[in-house]
Amino acid sequence: MTRNKIKFSHTKWLLPLWVLLIGSIVLYMITHAVQQADSRHLRTLAELNAVTYGDSMIADLNAGINITDTLEQLLISTDGRIDKFDIIADRMMADYVRSIQVAPGGIVTDIYPAEGNEAGKIDLIHDKYRGETVNYSIANDVLIIHGPFELEQGGHVLSIRNPVFLQDEKGTPYFWGMTMVIIKVPDIFQHSADALTDFGYQYRLSKTISPLTDEYTVVDQSEETLMDPVSYDFTLGGCSWKLEVMPTGGWKNDTLLQLIVLCGIAVILLLVVLTISILFVDEQRKKFRRLSLTDSMTGLLNRNGFNLQLEEYLEGNKQKNCVGILLDVDNFKFINDVYGHTIGDQVLLQLSQSLVQAFPDNSIIARNGGDEFCIILKDCSAEEAAPMIDAFSKASRSFSAKGVEHNYSISLGYAEYPANAEKVSDILRYADIALYEVKLQGKHGALAYRPDFHNSKRTQLGFSLSDVSDNLPGAFFIYRAEKEDERILYANQEMLQLTGCTDLDDFMHFTKHQFRNLVHPEDLTQVEESIWQQIESGMNGYNDYVKYRLAVKDGTYKTVLDYGRIVESEHYGSVFYVLVVDCEFIKTHYDD
């Protein structure tokens, strides 16, 4: 806290923006991490499913291969003869089998079922489309799954060709021919493909057409295009196979991510609102603290704020000199009573601003209450501060009321620590003694404390205008006697009672601030002539008497004796101080 102001930095209101920014970054990082983890999890599951259903497809293909193996075993056991081929083949038929064939010497001779498959009876070894692969199969004694092909009679198939070798009488192996199964695709994989689809996967099954090429061709696939799929590779029937799998919805769990984003946004907004609330509460706390330490009208410290700063200063500066000052406005109550509290507030505000401008920045300046101000000048002696204090106390001061400038003055007392006070906390007490010494000497000045100033002298200042007016045994009022600007300035309690008014504001409203409204219209000319005669006589301090009927608020009149004295005032010009005595009262008590 510097001087008398409590400053507040608005940069802390950027904190909600930082919370929003950091929260958004954290939410992005969490979302990204969850997305990556979820993607890894989905890929792991997809890889497991690719292996599972890849093995299932291998099992499907092995079912077809087993048909050729069974035929091979039959040929071996019967020395290359197959009796009742149609009956045997019929028993081995399945939904996914297009036909079962045998090709002695590489020439297809038997096909089941024969109907619709007549075109399949060809010389495999010398066929321009199949010959190379068939010869490779025979030369290497390896089963080949060739294809896929599109048949002339319609449909896509894979051809499983198993070369069969028998032994002659000498036990020497010789090529007998081939057992074959023509498999319908995608029928053979239907069960595995349906299971993949039901589990929410898209797939693509590819293979090399034959062992003689590395080029893959699609055997079967789902309808949608695959993006960055996982794959399971295997070798079967002399060819390389690849099953590619990906989730139908892709590698992102959009539902989970949307939930995380919505929850994250809700949390971020909650944190932002909470941060704003905390800042608002903190600002309110600081506001109330400022209100508890500062004077709302002048912006200076109040006595609590002054004491707090003084304590802070004392903690580290107990050995340093300082000067305590106490000052107030001369005749401030009179300014308030005559010109109103609004003008009085302007005087206080003007004085507080001049204090801030006149004294060093590190000074502790406060409004002690009412029109009294207190100051601590740090790190200086009374002798060093005296020129500055004297200049401030003697400076010309004025306020404006209804376009007219009026001068006012201040009285100021000051004391030094440690020269006058053993403790810094007592320094204002000694400054207060010096201030009242100024008052005793006629106000408008500044005095440094001296030990010969005594508190007993203050009893002379113990009476204020309110003390006198409230306890004076008689009614009186004060008014400015200017022809162009007649104005009642004050009335005491007994005057209010005499006119039937409840308070001074009621009295001013009743009289409209003018003495003429207190006089019976028939008596007004006589009274005014007496007043103006007294004014024009130029006899300052001259007393005069006039008798007239005084207006009462209830509409009646009382005959009174007006005993007035005219005085020339520095502030108001010609002023009448008037005692009013009820004639009925005089008659009752002094009839003789």
Q: What tens digit of pLDDT does each residue of 386-432 get?
A: 999 999 999 999 999 888 899 999 999 999 988 888 777 788 889 99
Residues 6+ apart with CB under 8 A from 243: 50, 53, 54, 57, 203, 204, 205, 231, 232, 234
Residue 486 pLDDT level (bands cut at 50, 70, 90)? confident
pLDDT, mean of residues 365-370: 91
Report DSSP letters for 449-465, one per residue.
--TT--GGGGGGG---H
Are the C-beta atoms of residues 47 and 55 closer than 8 Å to each other? Answer: no
Residue 454's pLDDT is 60
Stretch 29-49: mean pLDDT: 89
| pLDDT bucket at 461, cuts 50 / 70 / 90 | very low
Tell me how far apart the alpha carbons of residues 267 and 264 are, in angstroms, rounded to a whole number.
5
pLDDT tens digits, 543-565: 778 889 999 999 999 999 888 88
Q: Using 50, 70 and 90 to split pLDDT, how confident is the model at 566?
A: confident
Judged by average pLDDT, the poorest of 52-61, 143-152, 250-259 is 250-259
Distances (CA, A) of 195 to 56, 156, 226, 430: 10, 21, 17, 101
Classify residue 150 by burial, with Cβ atoms within 10 Å: 0-12, 13-18, 19+. Answer: exposed
User: Which domains does the chain possess?
Assistant: 11-269 (3.30.450.20), 303-459 (3.30.70.270), 465-589 (3.30.450.20)
Could you tell me the two tokens for 532?
């103006």
207 strand-pairing partners: 217, 241
| pLDDT value of position 537 | 67
Report angle CA 132, 134, 135 to the nearest 5 degrees.
65
Q: Do residues 564 and 544 make contact, with C-beta atoms less than 8 angstroms apart?
A: yes
Element (H, E) at 243: strand 239-247
Beta strands in 186-261 (DSSP E): 201-208, 216-221, 230-236, 239-247
CA 58 to chain centre: 63
Residue 3 pLDDT greater than 50, yes or no? no
Vertex 282: Cα angle to 278 and 284 (nearest 5): 115
d(CA 494, CA 581): 10
Please give the residue that has the higher pLDDT: either 456 or 217. Answer: 217
Among candidate residues 430, 438, 391, 387, the one with its CA nearest the CA of residue 412: 438
Residue 43 has pLDDT above 60, yes or no: yes
The answer on pLDDT for 357 being more than 90 is yes
From the centroid of its chain, how far is CA 512? 56
pLDDT digits (tens, 9 = 90+) for 69-114: 999 999 988 888 888 899 999 999 999 999 999 999 999 999 999 8
pLDDT band at 282 (very low <50, low <70, confident <90, very high): confident
Instruction: Determine the average pLDDT of the residues in 464-483.
Output: 74
Which pLDDT belongs to residue 531? 77
Q: Which candidate, 58, 70, 345, places its Cα nearest to that of 207?
A: 58
Q: Of 234-243, 283-292, 366-375, 504-513, give the lowest mean pLDDT range.
A: 283-292
3-state secondary structure of 1: coil
Closest CA to 158 of 68, 78, 245, 260: 68
Mean pLDDT for the chain overall: 87
Other C-beta atoms closer than 10 Å to the C-beta of 151 total 16
Measure the CA–CA gap between 338 and 88, rounded to whole angstroms.
134
Dihedrals phi, psi of 438, to nearest 5 degrees = -60, -40
The pLDDT of residue 217 is 94
Please give the model's pTM, rounded to 2 decimal places.
0.50
